Amino acid sequence: MRETGLRERRIEAVVGIVLAGMVWIAPAVHAADAVKIGYVDAQKVLDNTKAGKKSKESLEEFLKSRQKIIDLDESEIKQLQEDLSRQAAVLSPDARREKEETLQRKVMDYQRRAGEMNKEVQAKKKEVLDKFNKDLEGIVKKVAEQGGYTFVIDRNAEGGVLLYAKESFDLTDAVVKEFEKTSP
């Protein structure tokens, strides 16, 4: 029974401290600047600006050049497989083994090259998008400062940062217009 009374007094003390803190903080909250929050659909900006389209085209050209190399390797392997299948009956065991080993080396080289190409494409994608995002951040900052926004959130950020927003807080069109003013 003594423990219960002590526990109740501790709870009352904590509640009292919290209430006193709220009374002390409340005037400061009312005196703070109003918070204005907006959001931007960065994917829409990427899709609808000259700079964004140029970034995507650059990436697509790079991807196509790498794909051509991979396609050449694939056709070479396919040709070796066809040759081996056609000649299998007439080849000596040593000649057949040699062709099979050549084919295996080509396949392993292809897999290694495909992995390297994939890494190159990912690095290029990161490079292009990092540059675009840096430019986007500058434009968003300008639009936010002009509009008096305290926070601007990316609607498409990973993790589902924004689940709902009124259309009136969407700054995407203003960012697209500002981006177009600064793009050559």
Instruction: Write phi, then psi, for 38 (nearest 5 degrees).
Output: -130, 175
pLDDT value at residue 35? 80
Average pLDDT over residues 35-42: 84
Q: What local confidence, expressed as pLDDT, does residue 78 receive?
A: 94
Q: Whole-angstrom Cα distance, residue 54 to residue 171?
A: 22
Instruction: List, for residues 42-89, the tens digit of each pLDDT value.
Output: 888 899 999 999 999 999 999 999 999 999 999 999 998 998 888 888
CA distance 116 to 133: 25
pLDDT at 79: 93
- Predicted confidence band at 1 (pLDDT cuts at 50, 70, 90)? very low
Cβ atoms 39, 165 nearer than 8 A:
yes
Mean pLDDT value across the chain: 80
* Contact in structure between 66 and 92 (CB atoms under 8 Å): no
- The model's confidence at residue 155, banded by pLDDT at 50, 70 and 90, is confident
Q: What proportion of the chain, given as a percentage, has pLDDT over 90?
A: 36
- Give per-residue burial for 143-169: e unless 16+ CB within 10 Å, then b: bbeeeebeebbbbbeeeeebeeeeeee
Using pLDDT thresholds of 50, 70 and 90, give the confidence band for residue 29.
Answer: very low
What's the mean pLDDT in 159-180?
73
Query: What is the Cα 71 distance to its own chain's centre?
Result: 27
Q: Compute the distance between CA of residue 76 and CA of residue 82 in angstroms, rounded to an integer.
A: 10
Which pLDDT score, from 0 to 100, does residue 67 have?
Answer: 93
pLDDT at 126 over 90: yes
pTM of the model: 0.64
SS3 38: strand
* Residue 163: predicted pLDDT: 46
